[in-house]
């Protein structure tokens, strides 16, 4: 009888120990996995996090396309900067230093709007405010920025590099773009970049 009475007590003690003890390793692993899924580390971590967490197919395609475009643009500007430094390394400071700094500034202005949609959406997802429409709109603006870069390149193209397509309709459109003042080439990317900021701030 004493043994029978001791068994429930032993099992109850065990149950209390389990109930108030340290969480199991599986629970710790699960919590760690959830924490890893709910956050990202730095700029490069935002891209896989946003791709994995967003429900928008359009945005997921832009994460890939925009990331590759930003990487390629950054590499091109870096190589061009190396060439520029090599060509002006014999000169003094002053004007050459300003040209280099301005070149870096222009590169940042081009790359930043390419990665901005991904960063805006990743930040919103991390805060638990997932919005498929928000992600899709920013993805559309990201693609629009890529198109605006092409328009800006057409408008600001030197006369020696201006060529007209064979299609009559396209030829007239391209000719109209060539006729615009070359400084106007900054307008299309600038407008799309401002639209990104407005959407991110006001949505």
Residue 167 has pLDDT above 80, yes or no: yes
Find the mean pLDDT for residues 131-135: 94
pLDDT tens by residue, 68-113:
999 999 999 889 888 878 777 765 555 667 777 777 888 888 999 9
Residue 144 has pLDDT above 80, yes or no: yes
Residue 156 has pLDDT above 60, yes or no: yes
Dist CA 133 CA 176 (whole Å): 35
Q: Residue 199's CB: how many other CB atoms inside 10 A?
A: 16
Tell me the whole-structure pTM to 2 decimals: 0.75
């Amino acid at each position: 009888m004493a043994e029978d009475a001791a068994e429930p007590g032993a099992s109850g003690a065990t149950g209390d120990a389990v109930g108030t003890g340290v969480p199991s390793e599986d629970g710790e692993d699960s919590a760690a996995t959830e924490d890893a899924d709910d956050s990202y580390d730095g700029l490069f971590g935002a891209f896989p996090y946003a791709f994995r967490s967003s429900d928008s197919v359009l945005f997921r395609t832009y994460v890939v396309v925009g990331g590759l475009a930003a990487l390629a643009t950054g590499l091109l500007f870096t190589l061009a900067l190396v060439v520029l430094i090599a060509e002006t390394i014999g000169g003094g400071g002053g004007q050459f230093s300003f040209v280099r700094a301005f070149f870096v500034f222009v590169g940042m202005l081009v790359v930043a709007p390419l990665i901005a949609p991904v960063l805006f959406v990743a930040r919103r997802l991390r805060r638990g405010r997932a919005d498929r429409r928000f992600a899709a709109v920013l993805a559309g603006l990201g693609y629009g920025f890529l198109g605006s870069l092409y328009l800006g390149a057409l408008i600001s193209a030197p006369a020696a590099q201006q060529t007209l397509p064979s299609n009559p309709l396209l030829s007239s459109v391209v000719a109209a773009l060539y006729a615009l003042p070359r400084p106007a080439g900054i307008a299309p990317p600038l407008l799309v970049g401002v639209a990104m900021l407005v959407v991110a701030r006001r949505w």
